[in-house]
Amino acid sequence: MSEIPGGQATGAIRNADILIVGGGLSGTLLATQLLRLPGKRQVLVIEPRAELGRGEAYSAVELGHTLNGNAARMSVDPDNSDDLTQWLSAFIVNGGWPESDQQSVTVAELFPPRGIFGLYVQQRLAEAQAVGARYGSSVEHVRGEVVDLQTDEHATLLTLSDGSRLHGAFAVLATGLFPAARTPQAESSGLNAVAVDPWDVAKMTQLDPQSTVLIIGSGLTMVDAVVSLEQAGHRGPIDVFSRHGLLPQVRRQPPAWTDFLAEDPDIRTPRQLMHELRRHCRAAMADGIDWQAPLDTVRAHIGRLWRQATDVQRRQFVRHVRPWWESHHHRSPPLSAERVTRLQQEGRLRIHAASFKGLAPSAEGRVSIRIRRRGESAVTVVSGDALINSSGIEYDWRRVARPLPQQLLARGLIKPGPLALGIAADAGGAVIDAEGQVAQRLFAMGPPLRGMWWESTAVTDVASQAKALAQRLAL
């Protein structure tokens, strides 16, 4: 455990009760829950962006970048599953989203733009601030990046990039996602240096509309990249390369299905799960019911199944099942999926099952990559006019070239989670250090706990964790 130095500070150290590192969805929902609880406490949320509640995912400004879940699935209130639907209904009535009628479904079935979802999160925070004020509680946004963290049995101390320091009784790592496309990484910094950001529509408008664009990765970030290109006026060919060449399935609204995992507690291993899931999907299709209905019942049990699996079983799942799980579970919003399908039918979008092996020398104004096609041993070079890195999320904190993860690892305050996914913590979010000791002052929530729960990024997961952690910290 790293001890906080005494009497060595240059300049004042600001004090608070709780320090939240990260002001995206995770940090904002935790602050919201803390404000709603009785008691007087001061909370500082440290976030480099100008606004809280948006983070990486909800900073998108294009209406075409939508949530990949409908409103009924995306409430930030764990006690009211209709919260977003209710908020969105009023927002639309007040003229906030006139384009919503293009989806031709009920409000609960709408897939809102991510920027509008960010407004919803911000409004819920503002409402909670009014509640907190009556208790004498406050939340303040400290704009900056945390580059170091120290802790002892009494408190935590954060150092920001400008040298300022914050002292608190507790600190929470609510750092959110580290997208590979925007995160410097030791092994792929060259890639990101030449790649166009998947969400940078303005940059894409500078491309020749008929240029050839190469995309690495075929998941939801790729879908966003294709939407961005379309909105930028791109009309040329798009070549997508990913190891398995799998596209996200389209999100539909299937009817309810029996919760077969709740009815059969003997299903405990990934192998048993996949066997039963396939059986139920076949049964559903035989009855004319969407196969997504049985799959959607699994969601509530993933954390339990992952936690009780052995490391061997987890590795088997990640190695053999993960690509298909990701493409079938993390599905594309309908309008985006329709766009991808249309481009495929037009022959403009081509999906290649091939592994990215690095950049290759290229002529000026061009970009070349080295790939190995699935089933082949030879590495070939493919060239285009632009490159987009849509390879998803980096969960291994050892590979994230940001100051805070590196410092936490160097100090031994954290250790990698199972299979190096995120960081280790106990069931309540208390961080486990390199020596296996459970921290008394340092906690984590959301995406950093990927290795603990497997699914720890969805809005409902984060909302539930925020409520539970707030209650623990407020004691």
Are 25 and 137 in a shared domain? yes
For residues 292 and 242, give the distance between their C-alpha atoms in angstroms, rounded to a whole number.
24
Q: What are the two backbone dihedrals, phi and then psi, of residue 72, each rounded to the nearest 5 degrees? A: -65, -20
Q: For residues 298 and 205, state if they share a domain.
A: no
Considering the domain boundaries, does residue 75 fall inside one? Answer: no
Quote the pLDDT of residue 4: 58
* Whether residues 317 and 404 fall in one domain: no
Tell the residue number behind the tokens 């299905």, with chain if given. 257
- pTM of the prediction? 0.92
Largest Cα–Cα distance in the chain? 72
CB atoms closer than 10 angstroms to residue 377? 6
Considering the domain architecture, whether residues 301 and 288 belong to the same structural domain is answered as yes
Is there a domain that residue 213 lies in? yes
Q: Does 199 lie in the same domain as 121? A: no
Q: How far apart are CA 248 and CA 333, in angstroms?
A: 9
Residue 101 lies in a domain: no
Residues 6+ apart with CB under 8 A from 193: none
> Which residue, among 116, 326, 121, has the nearest Cα to 221 in the 3D structure?
326
Nearest CA to 146 among 185, 118, 173? Answer: 173
Same structural domain, 318 and 264: yes
**What pLDDT was estimated at residue 463?**
96
18 and 135 co-located in one domain = yes
Q: 114-135 vs 83-93: helix axis angle to the nearest 10?
A: 110
pLDDT given at position 344: 97
Number of Cβ within 10 Å of residue 74's Cβ equals 22
- 404-409 long-range Cβ contacts below 8 angstroms, 24+ apart: 404/21, 404/145, 404/146, 404/147, 404/148, 404/149, 404/175, 405/175, 407/147, 407/148, 407/149, 408/149
The pLDDT, as a whole number, for residue 189 is 52
Task: Looking at 50-161, list the stretches that DSSP marks H as alpha helix, in order from N- to C-terminal side.
Answer: 83-93, 114-135
Tell me which residue of 409, 458, 448, 399 sits closest to 425, measured CA to CA.
Answer: 448
Q: What are phi and psi of 354, to 5 degrees?
A: -160, 145
**Residue 418 within a domain:** yes
**Residue appearing with tokens 């809005």:** 459
CATH of the domain at 242: 3.50.50.60
Structure tokens at 75: 């409430």
Task: Tell me how crowded residue 242 is: count the other CB atoms within 10 A of its CB.
Answer: 25
Q: What are the tokens at 229?
A: 């290109």
d(CA 45, CA 141): 5
Rounded CA gap, 258 and 265, in Å?
14
CA-to-CA separations, 191 to 48, 177, 358, 372, 397, in angstroms, rounded: 24, 19, 8, 17, 19
- Does one domain contain both 22 and 168? yes
Give the end of a domain, one of 329, 347, 379.
329
357-393 pLDDT tens trace: 999 998 888 999 999 999 999 999 999 999 999 988 8
Domain stop point among 362, 389, 416: 389
Domain membership of residue 74 (yes or no) is no
DSSP for 26-73, written as a single string: HHHHHHHHHHHSSS--EEEEE-SSSSSS-TTTT----TTSB-SS-GGG
Query: Does 36 share its domain with 124?
Result: yes
Bridge partners, 372 (sequence order): 355
Per-residue pLDDT 10s for the chain (475 aa) are: 445 554 344 468 999 999 999 999 999 999 999 999 999 999 999 999 999 999 888 988 888 999 999 999 999 999 999 999 999 999 999 999 999 998 889 999 999 999 999 999 999 999 999 999 999 999 999 999 999 999 998 999 999 999 999 999 999 999 998 887 777 654 545 788 889 999 999 999 999 999 999 999 999 999 999 999 999 999 999 999 999 999 999 999 899 999 999 988 888 887 888 899 999 999 999 999 999 999 999 988 988 888 888 999 999 888 888 888 899 999 999 999 999 999 999 999 999 999 999 999 988 889 999 999 999 999 999 999 999 999 888 899 999 989 999 999 999 999 999 999 999 999 999 999 999 999 999 999 999 999 998 888 889 999 999 999 999 999 7
Q: Are strands 349-360 and 367-373 parallel, antiparallel or unpaired?
A: antiparallel
- Boundary residue ending a domain (389, 405, 435): 389
CA distances for 184 relative to 13, 188, 393, 395, 402, angstroms: 30, 7, 12, 13, 7
Task: Answer yes or no: is 454 within a domain.
Answer: yes
Looking at the fold, whether 216 and 357 belong to one and the same domain comes out as: yes
pLDDT at residue number 184? 67
Structural domain including 277 reads 260-329
129 with 52, same domain: the answer is yes
CB atoms within 10 A of CB 407: 18
Q: Which parts of 154-310 are beta strand (E)?
A: 156-160, 165-173, 213-216, 238-242
Q: Is residue 108 part of a domain?
A: no
What is the domain count for the chain?
3
347 and 204 within one domain: yes
With b for 16 or more beta-carbon neighbours within 10 A and e for fewer, the 50-62 pattern comes to ebbbbbbbbbbeb
Residue 71: inside a domain: no
